Amino acid sequence: MFSQESISGVATKNRYNYHLSEIIRQRAWVEIDLSALSHNVVQIKQLLSPKTTLMAVVKADAYGHGAIAVAQTVLQAGAKALAVATLGEGIELREAGITAPILILGAINTPEEITAIAHWNLEPTLCYPEQALMVSDTLSQYEKPLSVHLKLDTGMSRLGTPWHQGTEFASLVQQLPYLNLSSVYSHLATADDPDPSHMYLQHKRFKTAIDNLKAQGIVPPRLHFANSAATLIAPQLHYDLVRVGLALYGLYPADHLRSIVPLKPVLQVKAKITQIKSIPANTGVSYGYQFVSDRPMKIAVVGIGYADGVPRNLSNRLQVLIHGQRACQIGAITMDQLMLDVSHLRHVKVGDVVTLIGKDEDQEISADHWAKMLGTISWEILCGFKHRLPRIKQLNKVELGVVG
Give the three-state DSSP class for 392: strand
Catalytic residue among 18, 142, 200, 287: 287
- Digit-coded pLDDT (tens) for 173-196: 999 999 999 999 999 999 999 999
- Other beta carbons within 10 angstroms of residue 102's beta carbon come to 23
Positive or negative CA dihedral for 295, 300, 301, 303?
A: negative
Q: What domains appear along the chain, each with residue ranges and CATH number?
A: 34-257 (3.20.20.10), 267-399 (2.40.37.10)
Whole-number pLDDT of residue 296: 97
- Give the integer Cα–Cα distance in Å for 312 and 309: 9
Binding site membership for substrate: which residues? Answer: 158, 335
Q: Is 142 a catalytic residue?
A: no
- Digit-coded pLDDT (tens) for 239-279: 999 999 999 999 999 999 999 999 999 999 999 999 999 99
Q: Is 80 a catalytic residue?
A: no
Whole-number pLDDT of residue 142: 86
- Other beta carbons within 10 angstroms of residue 159's beta carbon come to 17
Block means of pLDDT (10 residues each) for the chain, 404 residues, are 43 45 76 97 97 98 97 98 98 98 97 97 98 96 93 97 97 96 98 97 98 96 98 97 98 96 97 97 97 97 98 98 97 98 96 97 96 97 94 60 31
Give the three-state DSSP class for 24: coil
Whole-number pLDDT of residue 21: 55
Give the three-state DSSP class for 234: coil
Cα angle vertex 398, ends 394, 399, to 5°?
45
- Give the integer Cα–Cα distance in Å for 264 and 244: 15
Per-residue b/e over 367-391, b at no fewer than 16 CB within 10 Å? bbebbeeeeebbbebbbbbeeebbb
Per-residue b/e over 132-152, b at no fewer than 16 CB within 10 Å? bebbbebbeeeeeebbbbbbb
Q: 45: number of CA atoms within 13 Å, CB side?
A: 18
Whole-number pLDDT of residue 16: 46
DSSP string, 259-316: TSS-----EEEEEEEEEEEEE-TT-EESGGGSEE-SS-EEEEEES--GGGT--GGGTT
Question: Could you tell me which of 111, 114, 215, 123 has the C-alpha nearest to residue 168?
Answer: 215
Start-to-end C-alpha separation, the chain: 18
- Give the integer Cα–Cα distance in Å for 388 and 7: 14
Whole-number pLDDT of residue 185: 98
